[in-house]
């Protein structure tokens, strides 16, 4: 039986503005939605048994999936001028640690939820707060709310690209 091909849609940035998202945050929202869509696409039929494999010492698919979720979570905390919680530090320490109890479906769901949380934050964020100064990490490095949100978006895209390569190395077509 032949699979019916799924019609290709343009990338999110070519699908028009997203309702309720301030214009200046549209690119970040589009990048996060693109990451979410590509994560699902590139990991379709990817086996849990390969989730923690590190071909040629590269980061595992599981690491990339945990990392994009963790970075987005941390950037949202910093954007809200919150310190990281002990739970967030624990998550950071365990990013990429092989865990047979974690499934691909869990990791996809975790990122989906974090993207939804980010989009809700974008909708509720007054544009006047985008240029407010914020600090990052224990060293309190300088940024802004806008800088943090854009970093989270571009960082997710970067790791999706790396994940795609790792998936293809582990599952050549």
Q: Residue 73 pLDDT > 80, yes or no?
A: yes
Nearest to 51 by CA among 91, 95, 100, 92: 100
Tell me the C-alpha distance between 171 and 120, whole Å: 35
DSSP 125: S
Tell me the C-alpha distance between 12 and 16, whole Å: 8
- Rg (the chain; Cα; Å): 17
Long-range interactions of 117-122: CB distance < 8 A, separation 24+: 117/76, 118/29, 118/32, 118/72, 118/76, 118/149, 118/152, 119/18, 119/21, 119/29, 119/32, 119/33, 121/76, 121/79, 121/80, 122/21, 122/22, 122/25, 122/28, 122/29, 122/149
Q: Residue 4 pLDDT > 90, yes or no?
A: no
Q: Is residue 51 part of a domain?
A: no
Q: Is residue 50 part of a domain?
A: no
Q: Is residue 131 part of a domain?
A: yes
Report CA-CA distances (Å) from 115 to 37, 59, 168.
Answer: 11, 22, 25
Query: Encoding tokens for residue 105?
Result: 């479906």
CATH number at residue 109: 1.20.120.450
Average pLDDT along the chain: 94
Q: Is residue 113 part of a domain?
A: yes
Confidence at residue 2, expressed as pLDDT on a 0 to 100 scale: 53
DSSP 51: T
Task: Answer for the pair 171, 50: CB distance below 8 angstroms, yes or no.
Answer: yes
Domain count for the chain: 1
Q: Which position has the token pair 């091909």?
A: 5
Question: Could you tell me the residue range of the domain that residue 73 belongs to?
Answer: 29-34+58-170
Q: Give the predicted TM-score (pTM) of the model.
A: 0.92
Using one digit for the tens of pLDDT, what is the confidence trace for 129-143? 999 999 999 899 999
Q: Is residue 104 part of a domain?
A: yes
Q: Residue 167 pLDDT > 60, yes or no?
A: yes
Q: Is residue 47 part of a domain?
A: no
Q: Is residue 14 part of a domain?
A: no
Q: Is residue 21 part of a domain?
A: no
């Amino acid at each position: 039986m032949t699979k019916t091909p799924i019609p290709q849609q343009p990338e999110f940035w070519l699908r028009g503005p997203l309702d309720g998202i301030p214009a200046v945050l549209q690119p970040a929202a589009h990048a996060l939605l693109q990451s979410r869509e590509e994560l699902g696409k590139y990991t379709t039929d990817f086996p849990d048994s390969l989730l923690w494999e590190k071909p040629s010492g590269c980061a595992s698919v599981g690491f990339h999936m945990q990392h994009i979720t963790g970075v987005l979570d941390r950037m949202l905390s910093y954007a809200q001028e919150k310190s990281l919680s002990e739970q967030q530090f624990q998550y950071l320490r365990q990013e990429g640690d092989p865990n047979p109890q974690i499934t691909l479906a869990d990791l996809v769901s975790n990122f989906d939820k974090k993207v939804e949380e980010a989009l809700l934050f974008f909708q509720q964020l007054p544009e006047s707060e985008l240029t407010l100064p914020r600090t990052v990490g224990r060293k309190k490095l300088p940024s802004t709310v806008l800088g943090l949100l854009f970093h989270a978006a571009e960082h997710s895209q970067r790791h999706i690209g790396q994940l795609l390569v790792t998936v293809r190395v582990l599952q050549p077509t």
